Structure 1
Amino acid sequence: MDTTASPVVLNGTTLTVGGLIALADGAAVPVTAPEARERAVRSFHAGRRLAATGRLYGRGTGVGAHRAVSVDADDETAHGLRVLRSHAGGAGALLPARQIRAMLAIRANQLLAGGSGIHPGFVDALVEALRLGVHPAVNEYGSVGTGDLTALAQTGLTLLGERPWLDSRPNDPDGADGPTRTGSAPESRPGGGYVAIVGGGGDVPADRGPSDGGSPPADGGSESRPAGTDPASRNPCAPPTELTGGDCAPRGGAPGVRPAGAGTARDGGSPSAGTAAVGVPARGGRSPARQTHAARSGPGSRPLPAPVVLRPGDALALLSSNALALGQAALGWHEVDRSLRATHAVAALALAAVSGSAEAYAAPVHDLRPYPGAVRAAGEVRRLLGLPDRPEGSGRRIQDPYGFRAFPQVHGCALDAAERLREVVEVEINCPSENPLLALDGTAAHHHGGFFAAPLGHALEAVNLTLLQTAQLSAARLAALGDPGLTGLSAFLAAGPASSSGTMILEYTANSALAELRACAAPASVGHAVLSHGLEEAASFAGQAARQTLRAARAYRTVLGCELVAAVRAARMHPVPPSVAAFTVAAAALPDGTDDRPLTGDVTAAAELLPLLAQL
Structure 2
Amino acid sequence: MMDSPVWLDGHSLTLEEWEQVVFHRRPVQLAPTAITAMERSRRLVDGAVARGDVIYGITTGFGKFSDTVIDREQSEELQHNLIKSHACGVGEPLSEEIVRGMMVLRANALARGYSGIRPSTVNALILLLNDGIHPVIPSQGSLGASGDLAPLAHMILPLIGEGEVSYRGQRMGARTVLDQRGHAPITLAAKEGLALINGTQMMASICALAIRKAENLLISADIISAMTMEALGGIPDALHPLLHQARGQMGQLQVAAHMRALLHGSHCLTRPGEKRVQDAYSLRCIPQVHGASRDAYEHVEAIVIRELNAVTDNPLLFTDENLILSGGNFHGQPLALAADYLGIAMAEIANISERRSERLLNPQLSGLPPFLTQKGGLHSGYMILQYVAAALVSENKGLAHPASVDSIPSSANQEDHVSMGSIAARKLLRILDNVTRVLAIEWITAAQGLEFSDRQMGAGTVPAYRLIRKHIPPLVNDRPGQPDIEQAAQLIESGQLVKAAAVS
- What is the TM-score with the length of structure 1 in the denominator? 0.76
Deviation at 1:111, TM superposition (A): 0.6
Measured against aligned partners, the alpha-carbon deviations of 1:21-49 in whole angstroms (never above 9, x if no partner) come to 22222342223322222222222223223
Q: 2:340 aligns with which of 452, 461, 473?
A: 461
SS in 2 for 1:28: coil
Counterpart of 1:379 in structure 2 is 257
Deviation at 1:336, TM superposition (A): 1.7
Counterpart of 1:562 in structure 2 is 441
Deviation at 1:125, TM superposition (A): 1.6
Deviation at 1:433, TM superposition (A): 1.2
Measured against aligned partners, the alpha-carbon deviations of 1:107-132 in whole angstroms (never above 9, x if no partner) come to 00111122000111222122211111
Give me the whole-angstrom Cα distance separating, in 2, the residues matched to 1:534 and 1:73. Answer: 27
**Percent of aligned pairs with the same residue?**
30
Deviation at 1:362, TM superposition (A): 1.6
Deviation at 1:496, TM superposition (A): 2.0
1:156 has 2:132 as partner? no
State the superposition RMSD in angstroms: 2.1
Which amino acid is 2:262 matched to? Answer: L
Deviation at 1:545, TM superposition (A): 0.5
1:483 has 2:459 as partner? no
1:326 has 2:204 as partner? yes
Counterpart of 1:400 in structure 2 is 279
* 1:7–1:344 CA distance, 2 compared to 1 (3 A): farther
Deviation at 1:163, TM superposition (A): 2.8
Higher helix fraction (1 or 2) = 2
* 1:7–1:343 CA distance, 2 compared to 1 (3 A): farther
SS in 1 for 2:134: strand
Counterpart of 1:414 in structure 2 is 293
Give me the whole-angstrom Cα distance separating, in 2, the residues matched to 1:161 and 1:141. Answer: 22
* 1:406–1:497 CA distance, 2 compared to 1 (3 A): closer
Give me the whole-angstrom Cα distance separating, in 2, the residues matched to 1:402 and 1:376. Answer: 18
1:587 has 2:469 as partner? yes
1:536 has 2:415 as partner? yes
Measured against aligned partners, the alpha-carbon deviations of 1:152-190 in whole angstroms (never above 9, x if no partner) come to 2222221111334321x42xxxxxxxxxxxxxxxxxxxx
SS in 2 for 1:67: helix
1:364 has 2:242 as partner? yes
CA contact (8 A) 1:343 1:614 kept: no
Counterpart of 1:311 in structure 2 is 189
Give me the whole-angstrom Cα distance separating, in 2, the residues matched to 1:122 and 1:581. Answer: 51
Give me the whole-angstrom Cα distance separating, in 1, the residues matched to 2:376 and 2:411. Answer: 67
Which amino acid is 1:22 matched to? Answer: Q
Measured against aligned partners, the alpha-carbon deviations of 1:212-266 in whole angstroms (never above 9, x if no partner) come to xxxxxxxxxxxxxxxxxxxxxxxxxxxxxxxxxxxxxxxxxxxxx7xxxxxxxxx
* 1:27–1:574 CA distance, 2 compared to 1 (3 A): farther
Ranges in structure 1 where 5+ consecutive residues have no aligned partner: 171-193, 200-256, 258-277, 279-289, 297-302
Residue correspondence of structure 1 range 213-612 to structure 2 within 5 A:
291=179, 296=180, 303=181, 305-386=183-264, 393=271, 396-441=275-320, 443-498=322-377, 500-576=379-455, 578-579=457-458, 580-610=462-492, 611-612=495-496
The more displaced of 542-551 and 575-584 is 575-584
Measured against aligned partners, the alpha-carbon deviations of 1:522-564 in whole angstroms (never above 9, x if no partner) come to 1001222111111111110000001001111111111000000
Q: 1:38 aligns with which of 33, 36, 39?
A: 36
Give me the whole-angstrom Cα distance separating, in 2, the residues matched to 1:589 and 1:5. Answer: 34
Ranges in structure 2 where 5+ consecutive residues have no aligned partner: none
The more displaced of 464-473 and 21-30 is 21-30
- What is the TM-score with the length of structure 2 in the denominator? 0.92
Give me the whole-angstrom Cα distance separating, in 2, the residues matched to 1:321 and 1:121. Answer: 19
The more displaced of 584-593 and 373-382 is 584-593
* 1:498–1:76 CA distance, 2 compared to 1 (3 A): closer
User: Number of matched residues?
Assistant: 490
Which amino acid is 1:529 matched to? Answer: I
Deviation at 1:595, TM superposition (A): 2.1
Query: Could you say which structure has the larger radius of gyration?
Result: 1
Counterpart of 1:196 in structure 2 is 172
Counterpart of 1:9 in structure 2 is 7
CA contact (8 A) 1:50 1:442 kept: no
Counterpart of 1:127 in structure 2 is 126
Give me the whole-angstrom Cα distance separating, in 2, the residues matched to 1:570 and 1:8. Answer: 48
Give me the whole-angstrom Cα distance separating, in 2, the residues matched to 1:393 and 1:7. Answer: 56
Residue correspondence of structure 1 range 138-149 to structure 2 within 5 A:
138-146=137-145, 147-149=147-149
* 1:308–1:356 CA distance, 2 compared to 1 (3 A): same
SS in 2 for 1:195: strand
CA contact (8 A) 2:163 2:173 kept: no
